[in-house]
Amino acid sequence: MIRSLAAVGAAALLSSFVQAPADAAVVSVPTVSSLQAAINSARPGQRIVLADGVHRADKPIKITKSRITIAAKRAGGAVFSTGGFEFGAVRGVTVEGFVFDGTSSLTVPAEAEASRITRTTFNGNKDGASLTVSANDVQVDHNTFSNRTNEGVYLQVTGPGSEIAQRTWIHHNHFYNHQFTGSNGGESIRLGYSHKQSKSAYAVIEHNLFEKADGDPEAISVKSSDNTVRFNTIRSSKGYIVLRHGNRTTVEGNVLLGSGIRFHGNDHKVFNNYVQNTGDRAIVFGKGSETDSGPTSTSHDRPDRVTVAFNTLIGTGAVVDSDTGTYAPKDCVLANNIIQGSSSKLIDMMSGSTVKYEGNIVWGGTAGIPSGYRSVDPKLLRDANGLLRLASGSPALESSAGTYSYVTRDFDPQARSGKPDVGADEYSSSAIRKPLTAADVGVSGP
């Protein structure tokens, strides 16, 4: 059978673009039209590489094949000013190294499970989120999110209908310079929505850097349950780590410089965090407009059974604070923290709060609580990375109270041994933790 001239011409055009056989491990293409053709004919395991340049796609490039990698020839070299990618019902696809500039953005729908977005830049203002994840088991790593001034978040984790995306792994990203000036709606990460707060996302947000996260008071806004937020650095930002809705989230080992942690909801664990705030409110027990949020409520849920333990909290005013509301924090724990400042009341909890205090060291001001603390100098010394650590003669050494079996390491992280030391740092002569910098994360990070 003789093919049409159009078909012959299209085949010849594709063969001139593609630089390797169809079953080769790497297929190189120069344009978005040849990229679409290469994707359509791809086989599992192939890496399809787009040449450097500014690419204008009149419509999104459709990802139709599973278990392939679609990459820029050089990370940051292939720029989309319009369009982008549209995932189909695929699995195990990696998108790597592109720049989504101008109006271009990216969405990973629910049917594109186990996808990975890596070494990619999302720059400038977008209509909605810069990146939206609705699928399960998606990895978002070593990306740079930068330079937004309009409403909308950098990274939105959601899911189909009333469901929440499961097991999103967000790590080694650089969230930089969100300058939306509205009262809210400019988070760096929004994990869920208010109406999905009771859903367990099991997400892990770790080893990310947030700088100039000023688009919202919440740099990380958690609106789902059963998540882990650990080993991130926030600096020069008004945005906090905020557990806005949901229950049972762990906040561990973060380094916050000029930021803080605020929480609502039940059964959270907040431990091993280093918070150095030039003002006050390093830790905030959020206000309660209701006692337990309904599944679609947007109100502020009272903190119940939240444990704040083994943190180093540095400030000037009320370093540990609670927002006022109808309902005070209930059955919470504040234990084995170093709280250092210069206020007449370093711990200022709402009247009627029921909090168990034990093993805390409070220094530089008045504690503000009746018991559960010692007023002694913790003898903190600043290390080469600017972090305050325990000196060899500190009264914090091996002096913690109670049993917190899940605290097996400190914020470095290094193993805690014997009776754990008070605060985020377990004394060691080989301290290793440093705040993250731009060289550690993002497109160019290791």
The tens digit of pLDDT for each residue in 302-336 reads 999 999 999 999 998 899 999 999 999 999 999 99
Which one, of 155, 170, 144, lies nearest residue 443 by Cα? 144
Q: How far apart are CA 311 and CA 205, in angstroms?
A: 19
State the pLDDT at residue 18. 37
The tens digit of pLDDT for each residue in 206-219 reads 999 999 999 999 99
In angstroms and rounded to an integer, the radius of gyration of the C-alpha atoms of the chain is 24
Instruction: Check pLDDT > 50 for residue 8.
Output: no
Beta strands in 352-442 (DSSP E): 355-358, 360-363, 373-374, 380-382, 388-390
pLDDT tier, 2 (very low <50, low <70, confident <90, very high otherwise): very low
Tokens of 274: 């280093």
> What domains lie within the chain, and their CATH numbers?
24-379 (2.160.20.10)
Instruction: Check pLDDT > 70 for residue 13.
Output: no
Mean confidence (pLDDT) of the chain: 92
pLDDT tier, 23 (very low <50, low <70, confident <90, very high otherwise): low
Report which of residues 75 and 82 the model is more confident about: 75
Beta pairing partners, 242? 221, 262
pTM: 0.93
Q: Which residues contact 429 (CB under 8 A, 6 or more apart)?
A: none
Instruction: Check pLDDT > 80 for residue 90.
Output: yes
pLDDT tier, 5 (very low <50, low <70, confident <90, very high otherwise): very low
